[in-house]
Amino acid sequence: MSTPRKTLPLAGSERAPLEGAREIGPANPNETVDITIRLRSRAGKKPILNSEEFTKPIEKRTILSRKEFEQRHGADPESIVRIESFAREHKLIVKEKSPGRRTVILSGTVAAMNQAFGVALKEYDHPTGKYRGRTGAIQLPAELHDVVEGVFGLDNRPQAKPHFRRRHGRAGARAATVNLSYTPVQVATLYDYPTGVDGSGECIALVELGGGYNPTDLSTYWSQLKLSKTPTVSAVSVGNGSNNPTGDPNGPDGEVMLDIEVCGAIAPGAKIVAYFAENTDAGFLNAITTAVHDSTNNPSVLSISWGGPESSWTQQAMTSMDEAFQSAAAMGLTVCVAAGDDGSTDGVTDGLNHVDFPASSPNVLACGGTELVASGNTITNETVWNETANNEGATGGGVSDVFPLPSYQNGVGVPPSANPGKHVGRGVPDVAGDADPSTGYVTRVDGQPDVIGGTSAVAPLWAGLIVLINESIGKPAGFVNPLLYPDASAGGIFNDITSGNNGAYSAGPGWDACTGLGSPLGSQIAAVLRTPATSTQAKRAGT
């Protein structure tokens, strides 16, 4: 009789049922499940990012090609061989393997997955719908622990939500000032975006975890805006995801169309590619890594408008996604992420404050929200977006419970967390832009005109700015945070938002946990990113 193989729990893989979920019973043992195994880098624990590299002026940065990155930081082929052997042993099929993405996708029955990973998959009923879940940690053979970083997809609960808000309208005295709407082109003008460039030669990647777009709606929208060019939009299916419009403007179609229409209107010469995946931790991770490593479309900016409170994620998921963002930076991609629409609690009802992930990753540009009031081409007032009293949301922001304070935020005034213990961590957001639906964006969704806001609009707003800058520089700006913070301290490249709050945190001069450094002065930001950094800037950025 053979001795059972020793297994160990995979650190950071622990799961608990969703709050309010009811266990129905064991998952169907014959159901087919696809799971994603994220492998460790062949470089071991050597960091992907060299912090000094990103304080250099953009033209002097070393940017790795996707092939170079795979050779330096991809999965070791031997690691993939070991996973293939594990799969054969447990009657699992290898559906996909990508050394660059450090990803192997396996397929098999629930029964086989239970046996392979030491879990007991069950069906749960939740107010948001049924899902397949597990509790506790995933178990792995001891000999795989040095090569596996995470295992995703056993649990298929919805992992994230879109960060857009449709306008409900306002009555009374405030209606004259807040029932405003702008096209993305008008917002770009108010924020002084660079002119003479349109994003030609650039590609913007969008992560979408549901819904879809209708090309006819887009054609109508571009025509109404009288754009000089018509943006090229295409879809990439990741796993079982696809461009699948629901026909419901209140659903995820609103997110997809908002993302495309905002960045497409600002950079009509750019190619826009939407990566559609299932709304699970596996789907989200695979969409990110597929976009980042896409050598066919070669995106230089990734815009993400989906997320959830840090407390809703496993540590393995946050680690793997954060490393994917480090990979993006090494290959010259800027990642813009919405900071959330539920104020400083991020919608959690435990009495504490929370920030949204992936916006809390220190390797992304986290985008918060404002209320923007303008007359003609002039901003007359800009404050923190907070309409919780009207059930229209508020910008996310605060202090991460997971990620430490990054060097580029040293000395900018990130406060201790408002939670007990006063934890010091990564401050969210980095930047801001118009997000209040009462001063929202003119859009078209499922055949109907609409006005939409939310920090979901701010991520593609900044993505559009970055590709305009990329075109003007002739090189991708990549990870911009270490360059923006020093210059923001000197003033003149942001509209500093000093009025308002998002719950536990208030705006004030300089960086704050509501609107970060502020909303963009686009042409000035472009000039800074085109200008070699001074030694003083480099010191401030943390070298």
> So which residues are the catalytic ones?
255, 259, 456
Q: Are 138 and 32 in contact (CB under 8 A)?
A: no
Q: Report how far residue 483's alpha carbon sits from residue 60's, in angstroms, rounded to the nearest whole number.
A: 13
The answer to whether 27 touches 123, Cβ cutoff 8 Å, is yes
Neighbours of 381 (CB within 10 A): 13
The string of DSSP letters for 413-467 reads TPPPPSSTT-----EE-SEEEE--TTEEEEEEETTEEEEEESHHHHHHHHHHHHH
Q: Which of 278, 262, 258 is nearest to 270 (CA)?
A: 262
- Cβ neighbors of 514 (< 8 A, separation 6 or more) are 368, 384, 395, 397, 432, 497, 500, 501, 502, 505, 506, 507
Q: In 6-32, which positions are buried (b, 16+ CB within 10 angstroms) versus exposed (e)?
A: eeeebebbebebbeebeeeeebeeeee
Of 439, 437, 463, which is closest to residue 379 (Cα–Cα)?
A: 439
Residues 6 or more apart in contact with residue 39 via CB below 8 angstroms: 75, 76, 79, 80, 83, 102, 103, 104, 147, 148, 149
Write down the residue that tokens 């949301």 correspond to: 393
3-state secondary structure 485-502: HHHHHHCCCEECCCCCEC
The 8-class DSSP code of residue 59 comes to: G
Q: Are 110 and 121 in contact (CB under 8 A)?
A: yes
Cβ(330)–Cβ(361) under 8 Å? no
